[in-house]
C-alpha cells in the first residue's frame, strides 16, 4: 500500500504567543522599575534640590567678608583697663577703645583662621573673652578696597607677633595703597575708606612695636563704622 505524503503546516498556538508576550512585558516592567529605583536612590543620596540650595548658600557667604575682635573687659576707669592690657600682652596685641565714658579692652583684630588659637589660649587661663564679629558686604568697589586695606594692615601688624621684630618698613604698603582705583564719593562707606588710606599715607617710613596698638585701634574703629 502506498502512502500519500502530505506537507501539512502547523498553525501557530495563539495562547502560547500571548503567554510569551505577557512574560516579555512583565520582564520589561521589572527592569524599568529597577532602573527607576536606582535613579531615586541616587537622588536621595545627592538630591539636585539640595545641591542647588547649597550652592546658593555658599555663594551668599562668599559675598561678604568677616573680621573678628576679642573683647576682654569694659571699665569706667582707664587705670583698670591698663592693668588688664598688661595681663593680656602674652596672648596677643591688646588695645583700648574709648566709647563715651567707657574703656573697652580688646585683644587684636583677626581673620577667622587666626581666631581660634587665641580664644583657646584665653579659655585655658580662664580669662574672660567675647568674640565680636564684623561683616563687610562685597557689594561695591569701596567695600572691596576697605577689605583689602584691612587685610594689608593686619598683615603688617601681625608681623609683631614675632618678638624679634622691632620695626617694619611701610614703603611697599604706602605705594600699594596709592595705586588703588578711585572710588565714587557717594559710596556709603567712603569715609571709612578715606580713614584707612589717610592712616596708611601718614605712617612713618618704619613703624615700631609701640605703634601697634594704635594700628589695631584704627582698624577696629573702621570696622565698627561699616554700614
Query: What pLDDT does 13 receive?
Result: 52
> What does the pLDDT look like over 43-94, one tens digit per residue?
333 333 333 333 333 445 569 999 999 999 999 999 999 999 999 999 999 9
SS3 of residue 196 by DSSP: helix
∠ CA(53), CA(54), CA(59), 5° rounding?
100
Taking the C-alpha atoms of residue 126 and residue 3, their distance in angstroms, rounded to an integer, is: 117
- The residues of the chain scoring below 70 in pLDDT are 1-62
∠ CA(66), CA(70), CA(75), 5° rounding?
135
Domain boundaries, the chain: 63-224
Q: Is the pTM of this model over 0.75?
A: no
Q: Note the Cα 207 to chain centre separation in Å.
A: 30
Tell me the CATH class for 63-224: alpha beta
The three three-digit cell numbers of residue 43, written as one number:
537622588
Taking the C-alpha atoms of residue 130 and residue 107, their distance in angstroms, rounded to an integer, is: 10
Amino acid at each position: 500500500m502506498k502512502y500519500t505524503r502530505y506537507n501539512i503546516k502547523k498553525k501557530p498556538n495563539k495562547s502560547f504567543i500571548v503567554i510569551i508576550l505577557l512574560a516579555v512585558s512583565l520582564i520589561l516592567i521589572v527592569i524599568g522599575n529597577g532602573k527607576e529605583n536606582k535613579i531615586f536612590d541616587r537622588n536621595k543620596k545627592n538630591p539636585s534640590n539640595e545641591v542647588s540650595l547649597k550652592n546658593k548658600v555658599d555663594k551668599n557667604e562668599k559675598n561678604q567678608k568677616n573680621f573678628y575682635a576679642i573683647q576682654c573687659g569694659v571699665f569706667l576707669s582707664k587705670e583698670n583697663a591698663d592693668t588688664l592690657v598688661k595681663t593680656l600682652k602674652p596672648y596677643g596685641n591688646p588695645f583700648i577703645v574709648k566709647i563715651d565714658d567707657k574703656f573697652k579692652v580688646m585683644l587684636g583684630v583677626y581673620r577667622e583662621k587666626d581666631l581660634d588659637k587665641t580664644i583657646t589660649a584665653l579659655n585655658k587661663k580662664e580669662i574672660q573673652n567675647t568674640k565680636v564679629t564684623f561683616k563687610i558686604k562685597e557689594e561695591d568697589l569701596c567695600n572691596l578696597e576697605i577689605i583689602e586695606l584691612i587685610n594689608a594692615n593686619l598683615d603688617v601688624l601681625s608681623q609683631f607677633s614675632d618678638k624679634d621684630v622691632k620695626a617694619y618698613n611701610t614703603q611697599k604698603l604706602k605705594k600699594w595703597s596709592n595705586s588703588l582705583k578711585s572710588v565714587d564719593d557717594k559710596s556709603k562707606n567712603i569715609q571709612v575708606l578715606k580713614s584707612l588710606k589717610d592712616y596708611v599715607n601718614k605712617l612713618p617710613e618704619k613703624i615700631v612695636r609701640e605703634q601697634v596698638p594704635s594700628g589695631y585701634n584704627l582698624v577696629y574703629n573702621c570696622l565698627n563704622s561699616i554700614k
